[in-house]
Structure formats: structure tokens, C-alpha cells
Structure 1
Amino acid sequence: MTITGTIESIEYRNTAGHEKKVVTLVPDHRQKAFVEFRGRRMDEIATYKENDEIQVDVTLEGKISKNSGIQYNNLVAFAVREA
């Protein structure tokens, strides 16, 4: 799946030793997508900044929390390029 949009923000997160950058991407003015860049993909997003328009190829990763049983869907980047 490919998402095209404008970068609203790029945030670094480190949860229990799992590093990632979460990019808030605005495909249009009414929606937002939160895309995770992990591992070597974090370096690929480093060349972009807020207000840049990009295309991101993502995979959908579903998880169930072991603690609470809450279901999550994550958009995980595997490629990024200028739009």
C-alpha cells in the first residue's frame, strides 16, 4: 500500500529499547496517517523535514497487546521517496 501526503511532524520514540521514528503524514486536510520507520528505515526519513511531500510504501502490521488485549494496527514503512 502506498500513502502520499505532507509531513506534519517527525517524532523519535524509544519504547523498551525499540527505537523508531513516527511520521505524521497528512494525505488530505481531513485525515492523518501515523507511519513508523524502524531500523535502517529511520536513516531514510532523516533527509526529509516537515512540509515535505512524500510517498511511503507501508505494510499493515496488526498486534494484540499481551497486557490489555487491545488490538492495534500499525503502518510500517518499507520505502520512502519524494512525491
Structure 2
Amino acid sequence: MTTIKGTIEHIEYRDMAGHKKKVVTLVPDHRQRAFVEFRGFMMDELAPYKENDEIQVSVVLEGKISKNSGIQYNNLVAKEVKAC
């Protein structure tokens, strides 16, 4: 597991064919962005946080290949979150 610390820039709710998640744009510094997916019970863990809050997120890397297009994706999936 990897840990990322940063400021929440944006929280977006997505429902893609019944797969519900929240995607957080996290800014570890002013030049980078990390897009972290919160799925299942982790969406509830994210509830106390809002834009501009400083958080620390433990993530796992989840790589996939689209069955339809063959495009390769790397996703950062949240496993733990806490305030900094």
C-alpha cells in the first residue's frame, strides 16, 4: 500500500452502470494531481471530508484492460483515509 498526503481539490460522485464511487482530486503539491477512487464503504469514510481539507489516503494500484476497447488503465483505490 502507498500513502498520499494532499489537499482535496474536488469530489465527484459517479455511477457507471451500477458501479458507484466517488473520485477525489487530491493535490499533493501545486504541480501534481492524483485521482483517487473511493468505492463501497470507503465512500462513507470520505463523508466527513470536503474540498480544501488536508487528508492522508492509503491506496492500492489496480490495473485493468478494457474488455471493449483494449485500453489500459491504472486506478488508485482508497483503502484508508484520515485527516492530516
**Residue type of the alignment partner of 1:59:** V
Write out the 4+ residue segments of structure 1 that deviate beyond 2 Å after TM superposition.
Answer: none
Partner of 1:3, secondary structure, is strand
Structure 1 residue 49: deviation in Å?
Answer: 0.4
Listed as ranges, the matches of 1:2-81 within 5 Å are 2-81=3-82
1:2 and 1:54 map into 2 onto residues whose CA distance is 10
User: 1:36-81 CA deviation, whole Å, 9 max, x = no partner?
Assistant: 0000000010100000000000000000000110000000000000
Name the % identity.
78
**Residue type of the alignment partner of 1:53:** E
2:73 and 2:59 map into 1 onto residues whose CA distance is 15
Aligned residues: 83
**Residue type of the alignment partner of 1:36:** E
Q: Which runs of 5+ in 1 are unaligned?
A: none
